């Protein structure tokens, strides 16, 4: 069963401390993509960047090891991996003896690729590299200080407007006010989001109202970002568009979806202050 309601979300579960890849729960992307009119060839490319902060295992002598982990799941993979099942899976290594970190990375790569249905990139950051980890905010003009009145808290793409009389621009707009809710439990998900585009200027007040309109919306992180991407693409018709959201962590994991319709480097994986 792959429907979200059959996942571990919202259910009492026992934490398994021995390696168990069967804990991973894939959910097909296509169901939600059908809702936003994405069928056939994808109108975007991108990646879901997951950061794991609670990864531990035992070395052959039983001594605990720790690391940070970065998982990059391609946007064209058939499945997302439900986040609570991801957490349970990672915790299943807690009392598992492994020869070294390379053995762990191999298991993670194989299991996650099988669940996602496409190759997943895995990077382990061991303790000697912890001091090199940095923070940064999303690059762009922050629209959060605009003095607007808001009364809509479910997604309304009709709020989006372009300043069609103005010349095309190349800009990045940022907001820290994106909030949505878990599709199953209704728990709040908090994020900062960057809209980078080339095209007719997007009216900034309308964009801020639109992003705030997700406040009571129930959908997974990846699905919200794809909905935002498609709404802006349809209503504002930019020549180029990229949407990048950095969500705060839950259960030792944060999820950071990126979608764009042009070739270019993937975004940096620098944590924001809220992450």
The answer to whether residue 9 scores a pLDDT higher than 60 is no
List the one residue out of 65, 44, 68, 47 whose CA is nearest residue 56: 65
pLDDT tens sequence across 97-124: 999 999 999 999 999 999 999 999 999 9
Q: Which of the residues 189, 224, 236, 254 is marked catalytic? A: 189
182 flagged as catalytic: yes
189 flagged as catalytic: yes
* Tokens matching residue 72: 């990059």
Q: Find where tokens 């499945």 sit.
A: 79
**pLDDT band for position 1 (cuts 50, 70, 90):** very low
Q: Which of the residues 48, 111, 182, 231 is marked catalytic? A: 182
List the one residue out of 206, 158, 154 whose CA is nearest residue 180: 154
Query: What does the pLDDT read at residue 3?
Result: 63
Task: Sketch out the chain's domains with CATH numbers.
Answer: 4-132 (3.30.1130.10), 141-260 (3.30.1130.10)
The answer to whether residue 228 scores a pLDDT higher than 50 is yes
pLDDT tens sequence across 141-200: 999 999 999 999 999 999 999 988 889 999 999 999 999 999 988 999 999 999 999 999
pTM of the model: 0.94
Query: What does the pLDDT read at residue 224?
Result: 98
Query: What does the pLDDT read at residue 139?
Result: 97
């Amino acid at each position: 069963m792959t429907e979200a309601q059959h996942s571990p979300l919202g259910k009492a579960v026992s934490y398994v401390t021995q390696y168990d890849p069967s804990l991973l729960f894939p959910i097909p992307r296509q169901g939600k993509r059908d809702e936003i009119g994405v069928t056939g060839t994808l109108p975007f490319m991108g990646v879901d960047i997951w950061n794991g902060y609670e990864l531990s295992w035992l070395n052959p002598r039983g001594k605990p090891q720790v690391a940070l982990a970065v998982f990059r799941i391609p946007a064209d993979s058939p499945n997302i991996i439900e986040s609570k099942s991801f957490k349970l899976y990672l915790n299943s290594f807690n009392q598992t003896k492994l020869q070294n970190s390379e053995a762990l990375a191999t298991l993670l790569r194989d299991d996650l690729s099988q669940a996602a249905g496409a190759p997943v990139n895995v990077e382990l950051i061991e303790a000697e590299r912890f001091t090199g980890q940095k923070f940064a905010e999303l690059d762009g003009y922050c629209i959060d200080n605009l003095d607007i009145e808001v009364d809509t808290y479910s997604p309304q793409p009709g709020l989006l407007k372009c300043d069609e009389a103005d010349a095309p621009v190349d800009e990045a707009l940022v907001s820290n006010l994106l909030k949505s809710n878990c599709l199953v439990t209704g728990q709040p998900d908090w994020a900062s989001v960057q809209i980078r585009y080339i095209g007719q200027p997007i009216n900034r007040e309308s964009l801020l109202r639109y992003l705030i309109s997700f406040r009571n919306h129930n959908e997974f992180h990846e699905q919200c970002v794809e909905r935002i991407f498609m709404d802006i693409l349809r209503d504002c018709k930019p020549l180029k568009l990229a949407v990048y959201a950095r969500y705060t962590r839950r259960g030792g994991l944060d999820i950071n979806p990126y979608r764009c319709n042009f070739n270019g480097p993937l975004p940096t994986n620098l944590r924001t202050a809220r992450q």
